[in-house]
Amino acid sequence: MDADLLVCGLTDELFDLEAPAAMGRGPWSGYAHGEQINGSFFFGGARPGPWGWGQSGGINAGVMLLKPSLDTLAHCLAEVADEKHPEHIRGNGPEQDYLSRYYASSWTHISVAYNFQLHQMYYALNPECVDSADRAGFFGCPERVKIFHYSSDPKPWARLVEPAYAAFSEEEWLEEVLTKFNGYRAWVLKDPDAIEREADRCGIACGPDGRIRKALGWEKFVPMDAESSRSANRKDEDSSPKEEWRRVLGEEIFVPASAIEGAAKAWAWAFMCMFGCQRHPDHFLELQVTRTALKMWEEVYQDLAAGLADQNLAETVMRSVGKDVTAVDTASWKRSNGWWVAPAEWPTEQRLTSSCSWLPSGPQVLLTCGSDVLLKTDVEGVHVAVITPGGAVVKSFPSDASMLGCDAKAWAAQLPESAMAAVAIASLTGDLTALAALAEGGLGCPSAAPPAGCRAAAAVGRTHRGEWTDTHAGVDFATASLKGREPWLDKYRLGESWCRFRICQTRWLSMKEIVEHRPKMVWISSPLDMAIPSNHGYISNMENFSCDYDSGLLNWSTGAIPQFITKVLDHFGLHPPPESQVYQLYTAFDRDKNGSLSLSESLRLVEAIVRAAFNIKSDMARQNTSSSSSVMSYSPAGDQLKRPSQSVLYPGSGTVVSAPPLAQLATQAESGQLRDAMLPSCFMLPCMWA
């Protein structure tokens, strides 16, 4: 039995039927209760259009009588799991259609009284079958219905659990429910578009006068305006009237008013049963019944909520079944002129987005919240961003197993519940151990790796929830986006939850001062193109550097270390190597595997990059030592290798310039000598306390 059923009477007699049993679907099946169904009509065979060799009929799976069998279950699962099995046929209800075909020769019909679909009731008003439709016999006596099936949307309880309907008046709610039924729009409202959709299967049409008539066929005709135009231009002998097609309409047909009234009564009775009302339907007339019943149901709901001392009962129920009410929104992707369009109702500041792409140079991962970039990297692996009221938590898990310094499972387990989360995956090998560990730890993301060949994947959802709202995987690109409804998210900006530094033209801090005050160092917010006048030849612009609030350390996952390296190399006119190579060297310096480096360690890292990743004019360079071996041969502790030259070759310039070793400068920072030693050949951090 489906979950959207309401049992109004005894159903014990269903067990007297021969299994398998279900109701043959459609407005009129023609079968009696307990009669054998002819399953040969389920198969459409060859026909034009997209549904060729598809399915043309079947059963409704809302109420079924099945005989338990492990052998049958195993056989069904084997067929479904086999991608090449011919049972894979497109349809609107794949599991229902599959069961229809599987038991095609064995189905027993269950009366519509045990599966009374409300939206199908209005299809029974079709003038061609109004007297013979299966549901027609229940129009005047809806109390005969044993099971109502709310198989269309919106469900009767949606007004309390869906924010989109919360502000609807009774009139608006009633109209919303009924107008979702195409049969209601066609046979009660006489909507020409709805009638047109019904015309193909019942041979009727809506005439120019709005009346329903039999459709006898098509004929060509010459429009009156075309004939008049031809008469006015008789000198042009080549002019000929343009013919058009029109329907040939026959006699007018009517939907009996008694049938419409009976359908309304049955519809009202269904809601009375749902809402606990036991009055006779004659006390309620047509649509007023539904209005009254809806209001009564809401009163019953409020009484139940008061009895349970839970004024947010709907949210409690939704949470208990795993649906995140904070993320429910009617806004969804829409199709417009061939384009899928993101909903305009999603403000930028409320959107968490994950994207990953593969370029010829390698992967590019971007995690953003609103207009803030949480992470930008080209390192392969699994990258995660979690949004909490206190700020963003960002973590990267590189694909190289030797670099997985932290426990992904433990990290995910300590995350707050129901926080917005984004995951980006860039993987060439498909080895995503961290992804499974994150899922096991409760992040909520899919635990299985993307399908083979998908190098990029993106997913968004909420922590500690098993169902994520948007996942996407592809060969070279993937993106996913989540809209949050937290009240604090409207005011959320990445920088507002942290302290800030701003550029100051009057004060230059020594490295010693910076180290002493690093718990306060959080963000340098100068835009890249902002020039700072200086008479000393200092660096003229600065980029944003993010530091951990508690320790003041530069963190790799937030992008602070790569930005720091890029800024220093830019000052010397050098281009940084690929981030993946930088990451290999960075892990050698991150000895405690906490994902962070001090400013002194970061300067030593830059010197190692200058010496190892670029063409250094030294004994090692002259011996054609590879960059990768140079990277691993450098000591993070600052021990000097034998390098007779401290000169750096500018890539592509052909010139050599002198630069002081940054490792020595980092050492001088401890004694406060860095300020003088770095001028003018290196950079300083111009800051002021926030």
The tally of domains found in the chain comes to: 5
The confidence score (pLDDT) of residue 225 equals 61
Q: Which residue has the higher pLDDT, 467 or 538?
A: 467
Same domain, 267 and 244: no
Same domain, 236 and 275: no
User: Rounded to whole angstroms, how far apart are CA atoms 428 and 433?
Assistant: 13
Same domain, 290 and 344: no
Query: Which of 422, 447, 444, 421 lies closest to 434, judged by CA?
Result: 447
The residue length of the chain stands at 690
Q: Order of strands across the sheet with 21-24?
A: 59-65, 21-24, 108-109
Would you give the distance in Å from CA 208 to the centre of its chain? 44
Query: Which of 423, 420, 430 lies closest to 459, judged by CA?
Result: 423
Element (H, E) at 457: strand 456-462
Same domain, 434 and 567: no
What distances in angstroms separate CA 630 from CA 336, 570, 590, one per listed residue? 55, 22, 18
687 within a domain of the structure (yes/no): no
Confidence of residue 296 (pLDDT cuts 50, 70, 90): low
Domain that holds residue 223: 192-252
Range with the lowest mean pLDDT among 114-118, 462-466, 487-491, 504-508?
Answer: 504-508
13 within a domain of the structure (yes/no): no
Same domain, 177 and 219: no
Same domain, 153 and 300: yes
The residue among 109, 127, 160 that closes a domain is: 109
Q: What are phi and psi of 248, to 5 degrees?
A: -95, 115
The confidence score (pLDDT) of residue 292 equals 46
Q: Which residue has the higher pLDDT, 384 or 210?
A: 384
79 within a domain of the structure (yes/no): yes
Q: Write the pLDDT tens digit of every residue in 434-446.
A: 888 888 888 888 8
Same domain, 1 and 99: no
Q: Show the tokens assigned to 368.
A: 């953003």
Same domain, 174 and 67: no
**Residue 66 predicted with pLDDT over 90:** yes
330 within a domain of the structure (yes/no): no
Same domain, 64 and 122: no
Same domain, 556 and 601: yes
* pTM of the predicted model as reported, rounded to 2 decimal places: 0.40
398 within a domain of the structure (yes/no): yes
667 within a domain of the structure (yes/no): yes
327 within a domain of the structure (yes/no): no
Q: What are phi and psi of 608, to 5 degrees?
A: -65, -40
Same domain, 265 and 389: no
Radius of gyration (C-alpha) of the chain in whole angstroms = 36
The residue among 229, 252, 275 that closes a domain is: 252
Same domain, 526 and 658: yes
Q: Write the pLDDT tens digit of every residue in 611-666.
A: 554 333 333 333 433 333 333 233 333 333 333 333 333 333 333 333 344 444 34
362 within a domain of the structure (yes/no): yes
Q: Show the tokens assigned to 241.
A: 């009237």
